[in-house]
Amino acid sequence: MAQNISLQEAAALAKSGDAEAQYVLSSVLHQRGQFEESLHWLRQAAAQKLVPAQITLATLLMDGRQCPRDRQQAIDLLQPLAATQIQANLLLSELHGFAALEVANRATALRYLAAAARMGDAGALRQLALLSVCAQRWELLRPLLDASARRGDAAAAYALACCYAEGVGGAPEPALAATIGRSAAARSQYLAQRLEQSLGKQDLSSSMAHPPALNIDWLLLDQALPQLAADMALPTAETLHAAPLIRKLPGAIHPLVLDAVINLAAPLVKRSQIVDASTGEVRADPMRTSSHITLSPRQHDHVLEALERCISRVSGVPVLNGEFLQILRYRPGEEFRPHVDYFNASGAGAYKSLADGGQRAQTVLIYLNDDYSGGSTCFPRLQLEIKGRRGDLLQFHNLGADGLGHTDSLHAGTPVVAGEKWVLSQWIRSESYPARLTW
């Protein structure tokens, strides 16, 4: 149907039973903020089996914004479409695999993700590749990345170049790494310059190989899905301090996953803010000069979900107690001066923060890189300074045994001297964080 028909024409056709007109009318009404009427016509179009309407309605039912959340109705709409529709499989993988949607069947989730990958979805192929890293199923890695990159996924092209450069998932292939790493797709990634430097200044143009097309062993992938759905193995935690408890898990996360997080976040970061202890409002402040992005649920994928499950296991509390993931960047001179992460219960605005999931009981950091100087995590009252290595996970408690803020949890991100520091951060609440459930 032509999209330039008038609203009156669309309304007349919609009332006559034209499903496409109903869908167009629903879209126009939604843009105007007339959500109830928009939903009515969307349901009418979906009832006539118009695929775009069914997928749109399922998405709204997942989100629970303009209509009440109904996960089962969303599943019922999407399952009949899974045989032919990539988007249906992607949404079903989220419904079954994302903690905030509370279905929690990871194996089923990855079966739908694999179905989308079989249909050629580049993002699904890349996610499965990175999950194979988490599960140490190296034989799956390069074929999945290669297929994703050939379908235009720039993040996959960058990761594949890193695999060839560093010998991940097979022998090092410097010429292939140079060919892929110097492609427009790989060079569009934030870390492309670092990759170029790692390849060295040698001119490999005369020996550049044409990257071979790698075949995915789909049967092997299907057999591996339970492993990819399982929690990744974690190293033994090192206790750095007893009260407040501070622990480090060295090398917990593989560099390919860390790089993917940086490349995702880099175009999105903005000046960081703090929560004002007096008012409870969020504002910029000279004490915190970094940049960061808070990732919304719609920016999540199965790899970020795997990281959140790691954090949940380390903290010992449910995933839904965690605030949204933050990715932080510190450039030279930038810092986070000494502060505590728990809310000042006596502050005038504390009730606003505490009502939204309780106290910030724990903090977890994942160090995404270490090619910088300065920028340590410092606990001045404990005379403890930590320079996290790439992939290290740091967990510390902000509250004492009495449930009150532990003043010795005072900490700082000291100024970066050279290079850039990237870190993933999550604050863990004492109760379920309500915003996680609104999607």
Could you read off the pLDDT of 378-424 as tens digits, one per residue? 999 999 999 999 999 999 999 999 999 999 999 999 999 999 999 99
238-438: CATH, from 1.10.287.70, 2.60.260.20, 2.60.120.620, 2.102.10.10: 2.60.120.620
CA-to-CA separations, 291 to 109, 237, 260, 262, 285, in angstroms, rounded: 33, 29, 18, 13, 12
Task: Say yes or no to pLDDT of 96 above 90.
Answer: yes
Order of strands across the sheet with 411-413? 336-339, 411-413, 377-379, 384-386
**Cα angle for residues 163, 389, 156 (degrees, 5° grid):** 25
Do 42 and 57 touch, CB atoms closer than 8 A? Answer: yes
Tokens of residue 191, six digits: 């870390």
Mean pLDDT of the 140-163 span = 98
Q: Which of 126, 66, 64 is nearest to 90 (CA)?
A: 126
pLDDT > 70: what percent of the chain? Answer: 95
pLDDT value at 4 more than 70? no
What is the pTM for the complete model shown? 0.94
Domain ranges of the chain: 7-81, 122-229, 238-438
pLDDT class of 437 with cuts at 50, 70, 90: confident
Q: Which residue has the higher pLDDT, 333 or 209?
A: 333
As a whole number of angstroms, the distance between CA 99 and CA 433 comes to 12
- What confidence score (pLDDT) does residue 283 get? 79
pLDDT of res. 179 = 92
DSSP for 168-211 reads TTS---HHHHHHHHTSHHHHTSTTHHHHHHHH-S---GGGPPPP
- Please compute the mean of the pLDDT values over residues 272-278 and round it to a whole number: 74
Mean pLDDT of 361-387: 98
**Cβ–Cβ < 8 Å for 368, 261:** yes
Q: Report helix, strand or coil for 221.
A: helix
Q: Do residues 100 and 437 lie in contact, with contact meaning Cβ atoms separated by under 8 Å?
A: yes
Report the pLDDT value the prediction gives residue 439, as an integer from 0 to 100. 59
Q: What's the rounded mean pLDDT across residues 35-45?
A: 95
- The domain made up of 7-81 has a fold known as 1.25.40
Given this model, what pLDDT does residue 10 score?
82
* CB-based contacts of 167, cutoff 8 Å, min separation 6: none
DSSP for residue 152 = T
Nearest to 278 by CA among 342, 355, 354, 346: 346
Predicted local distance difference test score (pLDDT) of residue 353: 84
- Asked whether residue 115 carries a pLDDT value surpassing 90, the answer given is yes
Please state the rounded mean pLDDT for residues 337-344.
94
| Per-residue pLDDT tens digits for 180-235 | 999 999 999 999 999 988 888 555 554 557 888 999 999 999 999 999 999 999 99
pLDDT band at 2 (very low <50, low <70, confident <90, very high): very low
- pLDDT value, residue 344: 87
Q: At what angle do helices 106-118 and 122-134 cross, to 10 degrees?
A: 130
What mean pLDDT comes out for the span 296-322? 94
pLDDT in tens, 118-130: 999 999 999 999 9
What is the reported pLDDT for 208? Answer: 58
Report the SS3 class of residue 259: helix
Specify the DSSP class assigned to residue 104. -
pLDDT in the model for residue 106: 94
Q: What is the mean pLDDT of the chain?
A: 93
pLDDT for res 206: 47
Q: Between vectors from CA 31 to CA 28 and to CA 36, what angle results, nearest 5°?
A: 80
> Cα(68)–Cα(65) distance, rounded to whole angstroms?
7
CA distances in angstroms from 260 to 6, 131, 133, 393, listed in the order given: 44, 12, 12, 17
| pLDDT confidence band for 1 (50 / 70 / 90) | low
pLDDT of residue 277: 64
